C-alpha cells in the first residue's frame, strides 16, 4: 500500500520538500519543534507563506499539535534575471518552523494551573436511535409471544462519536472552516493521536463555532471550535428493510442506481483539506 501523501500547503500544491531538509526535535518534557524547507516558484513565495502562517497548518508528518510559527525565504541563486537594480529569481526556498506556540496569541488562554493552552480536544462516544425497526419481527416475552404493536417498536441503534477541537486567539478565520461544512472524507483516515481508523465517508464536518470578545484594549482574536460527527455505517448509507442492511442513497430520483458520488446527499471532499482539523 503506498504511503499517505504529505501535504504542507493547500494553496500552493506544487511546493515540495527540499531533499534532506527535515529536522525534528522531541524531548522528555513534552516539547517538540520541527522544520522543513519547501521549494516553490519565486512568484508564489508570499502566497505560500501566507497559507502556512494564517491557516494554522500543522506538522503533517505526525499530528501532535505543533503548527507553523515562522517562515524564512531565500532564493535559489542558480536561475535568475536582472530587473533594474534588483534580481528576479525563478525559485524560492521557504524554511518553515513548527512548534507549540503558534496559534495566535497564546497569552490569553490559561488552564486551572496557569499554563498556556494551545488547543483543547474532546472525544464523545455516543449512540443514536434513529428509525423504527420492523415491528412485525418482534414479540413480547418469547418467540411465541404476543406481537408488539407499531407504536411499541424499538428503534435502530447507531454507534456515533463527536470529535471536537477548540483553538484559541486566532488572528484570522480559516476559509476552509466555512467551505467544508456538510462534507465527508473521501478516503480512509487513520488518527495517529487516537490510534483509530475512520473509513471513507464516516466523518461529517459540522458547522463551527467562532467567538471573540473585546476589551478596552481591543480583541486578542477568535476562539474557534470545529468538530466531526462519526457515523459507523457512513453518512451516505441508510438502513433498507428489504435488504436488512445499509444501502447507499442518492439525491436524484432518476439516478438512484447511479454510482456517481456527486448525487450523494453528503458530498465527498479531499482528505487533505480535512487534515488541518483532524486529530
DSSP-assigned letters across all residues of 54-113: HTT-B-TTS-SS-EEEEEEEEE-TTSEEEETTEEEESEEEEEEEEESS-SS-GGG-B-TT
What single-letter DSSP state applies at residue 8? S
What is the rounded distance in angstroms from the CA atom of residue 267 to the CA atom of residue 178?
Answer: 14
Q: What is the mean pLDDT of the chain?
A: 77
Are 80 and 41 spatial neighbours (Cβ–Cβ below 8 Å)? no
What is the rounded distance in angstroms from the CA atom of residue 240 to the CA atom of residue 261?
Answer: 19
Residue 124 forms beta bridges with which residues? 162
Domain boundaries for CATH 3.30.70 within the chain? 16-102
The three three-digit cell numbers of residue 272, written as one number: 487533505
* Half-sphere CA count of 254, side-chain side, radius 13 A: 0
The three three-digit cell numbers of residue 218, written as one number: 481591543
What is the rounded distance in angstroms from the CA atom of residue 13 to the CA atom of residue 8?
Answer: 8
Q: 75-134: per-residue pLDDT in tens?
A: 998 777 888 888 889 999 999 999 875 343 333 455 455 555 566 777 888 777 766 677
Are 160 and 206 spatial neighbours (Cβ–Cβ below 8 Å)? no
Of 226, 231, 162, the closest CA to residue 194 belongs to: 162
Predicted local confidence at residue 72, as pLDDT: 96
Strands 268-269 and 184-185, bridge-based pairing: parallel
Low-confidence ranges of the chain (pLDDT < 70): 1-4, 56, 63, 101-119, 130-132, 192-193, 215, 217-218, 241, 243-244, 251-263, 265, 268-279
Q: What angle do CA 219, 223, 225 make, to 5 degrees?
A: 165
- Stated pTM of the model: 0.51
Q: What Å distances lie between residue 175 and 10, 196, 208, CA to CA?
A: 12, 27, 12
What is the rounded distance in angstroms from the CA atom of residue 50 to the CA atom of residue 4?
Answer: 25
Strands 268-269 and 218-219, bridge-based pairing: unpaired
Of 221, 199, 225, the closest CA to residue 210 belongs to: 225
Of 8, 11, 81, 78, the closest CA to residue 44 belongs to: 11
Alpha helices, H only, 94-210:
176-179
What's the CATH number for 16-102? 3.30.70
The burial of 18, by beta-carbon neighbours within 10 Å (0-12 exposed, 13-18 middle, 19 or more buried), is given as: middle
Task: Name every residue whose Cβ is closer than 8 Å to that of residue 19 and which is 6 or more positions away in sequence.
Answer: none
Amino acid at each position: 500500500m503506498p504511503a499517505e501523501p504529505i501535504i504542507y500547503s493547500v494553496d500552493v500544491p506544487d511546493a515540495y520538500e527540499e531533499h534532506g531538509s527535515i529536522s525534528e526535535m522531541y524531548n522528555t518534557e513534552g516539547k517538540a519543534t520541527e522544520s522543513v524547507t519547501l521549494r516553490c516558484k519565486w512568484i508564489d513565495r508570499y502566497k505560500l507563506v501566507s497559507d502556512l502562517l494564517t491557516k494554522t497548518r500543522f506538522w503533517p508528518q505526525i499530528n501532535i499539535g505543533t503548527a507553523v510559527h515562522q517562515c524564512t525565504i531565500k532564493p535559489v541563486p542558480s536561475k535568475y534575471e536582472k530587473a533594474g537594480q534588483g534580481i528576479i529569481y525563478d525559485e524560492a526556498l521557504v524554511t518553515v518552523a513548527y512548534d507549540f506556540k503558534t496559534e495566535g496569541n497564546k497569552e490569553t488562554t490559561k488552564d486551572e494551573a496557569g499554563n498556556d493552552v494551545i488547543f483543547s480536544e474532546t472525544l464523545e462516544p455516543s449512540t443514536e436511535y434513529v428509525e423504527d425497526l420492523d415491528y412485525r419481527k418482534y414479540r413480547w416475552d418469547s418467540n411465541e409471544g404476543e406481537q408488539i404493536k407499531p407504536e411499541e417498536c424499538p428503534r435502530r441503534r447507531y454507534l456515533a462519536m463527536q470529535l471536537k477541537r477548540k483553538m484559541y486567539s486566532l488572528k484570522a478565520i480559516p476559509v476552509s472552516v466555512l467551505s467544508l461544512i456538510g462534507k465527508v472524507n473521501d478516503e480512509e483516515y487513520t488518527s495517529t493521536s487516537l490510534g483509530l481508523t475512520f473509513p471513507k465517508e464516516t466523518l461529517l464536518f459540522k458547522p463551527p463555532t467562532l467567538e471573540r470578545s473585546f476589551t478596552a484594549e481591543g480583541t486578542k482574536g477568535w476562539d474557534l471550535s470545529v468538530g466531526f460527527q462519526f457515523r459507523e455505517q457512513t453518512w451516505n448509507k441508510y438502513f433498507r428493510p428489504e435488504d436488512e442492511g445499509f444501502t447507499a442513497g442518492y439525491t436524484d430520483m432518476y439516478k438512484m442506481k447511479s454510482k456517481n458520488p456527486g448525487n450523494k446527499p453528503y458530498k465527498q471532499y479531499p482528505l487533505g483539506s480535512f487534515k488541518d482539523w483532524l486529530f
